[in-house]
Chain A
Amino acid sequence: MMTLKGITITGHFTAEDMIDYQTMGNISEFAGSPCVIVRSLDPDFSIILHKVKLIITEQGSPLAHLALIALEYGKTIIRLNQTLGPVPPRGKLAITGDAKHVEIKIL
């Protein structure tokens, strides 16, 4: 089991027991998961924002275009404190901690 650490940069922190996730490099890879793991806050992802609950990103600021839109639509973005490393393309994850100290367990 892999554990990642991060911080909530947009929206409200909510603990999750088990949420489906997928990694995503571009829009065509989106398969409807409520949580997406991305390398950066690509503004092109705004077209799927209404379909997701949570974005986990390796890089990005709360003032990035996507982060501002996520803020308007009540979505949460967590930025990792570390590089992503090899994560299975799909699966489930759990989130614990608080807004400033988020712990993500890839199950």
Chain B
Amino acid sequence: MGQYEQNNIFEDFIKDPSPLSRSVVELAISQKQKYDSLFPPRGFFNQVKLRLRYQEEYLRIHAFTRGYDRALPAERDTIQRIDRAWERLTVLFDFIALNNTFLIYAFFAEKHKTNPIITKEDERLLAFKRLFHGEITRQSFNESFGHYAFNAYELSARRFSEYPEQELLEIARFLSDFKTQKATSLYDFIDSKSKNLFAAYSSLREELKYLSLLVIRDLRFSFLELAAEKNIQNIFEMSYDDIKRNNDHRSFHR
């Protein structure tokens, strides 16, 4: 048991979360807790069940990432838009928690922990390199990875699309000589029916991160919009419940 308990996959989730981002942390933890009983498995039958699930779930997770609708929620009301985004984040965090469970399993079960797949993380690093060398435009970078940030899940953290040109190029400079030998797509790897699933779950983790950060960006921008609408100073210092209460109160007195 001990070796598993040391592997807290959420330890690096958000550094010093703002009061508003604490709701994001709470959501992630509650989704993770749903799968805590799966791993490590207790008893022979649970071990077999987990193994069988391990060999299947990556297909369902992959299908989810491929079919995910990235379009923004259409609601006009900002609070409703935030609520819809929050629902999406709940679903995505559920998949992340499930995927993390099987990634931990893969880490202990698979002998070879190599990953030939070009993950979203590799694509992000390559995008920085290409931006630095002028091979892609700023707009193209923003469309692909502008929703990422340092301390990426922190709602108050500026997204890369918000950075001034020079500041972003300073970051891109670190990647000017970045190289990767990887050449396999996630789709091709999954299609190849490889028995070593460490690479699949590891890459799916990055796919899910990519999608969940789109929602975090939408949430950030919606909260900033709400702050402007309601003249709220530093909305990230409020909790989500306080914001909703504040909104209900103002609506009542309107």
Residues on A lying within 8 angstroms of B by beta carbon are: 27, 30, 40-44, 46-48, 50-51, 59-66, 68-69, 71-72
Contacts and interface: CB of A to CB of B under 8 A. Distances in A.
A68 B7 contact: no
22 contacts: A27-B171, A27-B174, A40-B11, A41-B11, A44-B150, A47-B125, A47-B171, A50-B177, A50-B179, A51-B177, A59-B11, A61-B11, A62-B7, A63-B7, A63-B100, A64-B11, A64-B12, A66-B12, A68-B202, A71-B115, A72-B115, A72-B119
A2 B12 CA distance: 28
A68 B209 CA distance: 14
Interface of B: 6-9, 11-12, 15, 100, 103-104, 107, 113-115, 119, 121, 125, 128, 150-152, 171, 174-175, 177-179, 202, 205
A43 B202 contact: no
Consensus secondary structure, chain A interface? helix
A83 B114 CA distance: 31
A47 B174 contact: yes
B174 A65 contact: no
Given A46-B121, A69-B121, A71-B113, A51 B174 contact: yes
Nearest to A79: B6
Given A47-B175, A50-B125, 7 more contacts: A43-B12, A43-B152, A48-B174, A50-B175, A61-B11, A63-B103, A63-B104
A60 B7 CA distance: 8
Contacts of B103: 63
B12 A41 contact: yes
B124 to A, nearest CB: 8
B9 A64 contact: yes
Nearest to B128: A47
Instruction: Indicate the member of A41, A48, A68, A71 with the most B CB atoms within 10 Å.
Output: A68
Contacts of B8: 61, 63
B174 A44 contact: no
A50 to B, nearest CB: 5
B177 to A, nearest CB: 8
Contacts of B9: 61, 63-64
